[in-house]
Chain A
């Protein structure tokens, strides 16, 4: 499966955390709690924003509904979703490496 990553990337912070929270299937409120915990409170996703993200991500086939219980839908990451997340993380790693290098060089040149 060849994925046109330009269609999905870069992920917004909220979208990234929704995908990252789906290391196992979860329902909406569990995702909200997981995202707050994972991001150490940096990212809080409200129910309206999350519900909108579900609609978009389901349409893009990055997540899928796997079950439904008492009006709570449980979502899982699809294979495509996993690949998009992996590609985003690969790019993030390059960004972090370059960011750290740039900051280190800036510090060094300032000291020289």
Chain B
């Protein structure tokens, strides 16, 4: 690890886009600019001059070159990417925070695509666990089936909670509309 990078462990729920954006802007103001992040919630920052830079998280852009071009035309820079999440940043000018999504309807659309992915990651797993519990208990060594069940006993409620939080966030946005 070079002296110019700082690694931070920090966990956010999928619906906490605003919290992440605030945190990243605060870090940029301290001279810590996002470089990358990984699935273990480890954030890597590059040390540089403090700057007021706004961050926005997007889930819809991943592979669309036309959309990426539009973001770049508007002055956004892609800072990091993680499993479909794009972290865009743009300097704040005259104290006005720039935004990628400027109305509630398109914000909801963004969360809906996240909700779909999270649900797809959770539901089949939950069903698989229920379906396979019996054969797992009967046919595998004790230590193994308990660790597999233990993992899923953690994973399924964890993901279900994440999905519920996201769903609640979408509904809150609908009311605000």
Contacts and interface: CB of A to CB of B under 8 A. Distances in A.
- A and B pair up: yes
Interface of A: 12, 14, 28-29, 32, 44-53, 68, 70-73
A28 B100 CA distance: 13
Interface of B: 56, 58, 60-61, 65-71, 73-74, 76, 98-103, 105-106, 109-110
B93 to A, nearest CB: 13
Given A51-B60, A52-B109, A71-B65, A45 B70 contact: no
B66 A71 contact: yes
A71 B65 CA distance: 6
A30 to B, nearest CB: 9
B70 A29 contact: yes
B103 A14 contact: yes
Contact of B60 (A48, A53, A70): A48
A98 B92 CA distance: 41
A49 B101 contact: yes
A28 B101 contact: no
Q: Which 7 A-B pairs have the closest CB atoms?
A: A29-B73, A48-B100, A71-B69, A46-B102, A49-B106, A28-B70, A48-B101
Contacts of A50: 70
Given A14-B103, A71-B65, A47 B109 contact: no
Contacts of A47: 67, 70-71, 73-74, 76, 100
Q: In terms of DSSP, what is the predominant structure of the interface of chain A?
A: helix
Contacts of A52: 60, 105-106, 109
A73 B100 contact: no
Contacts of B66: 28, 51, 68, 71-73
Nearest to A45: B102
B69 A72 contact: yes
B105 to A, nearest CB: 7
Nearest to B99: A46
Contacts of A48: 56, 58, 60-61, 71, 100-102, 106, 110
Nearest to B101: A48
10 contacts: A29-B70, A45-B102, A46-B74, A51-B60, A51-B70, A71-B68, A71-B69, A72-B70, A72-B73, A73-B66
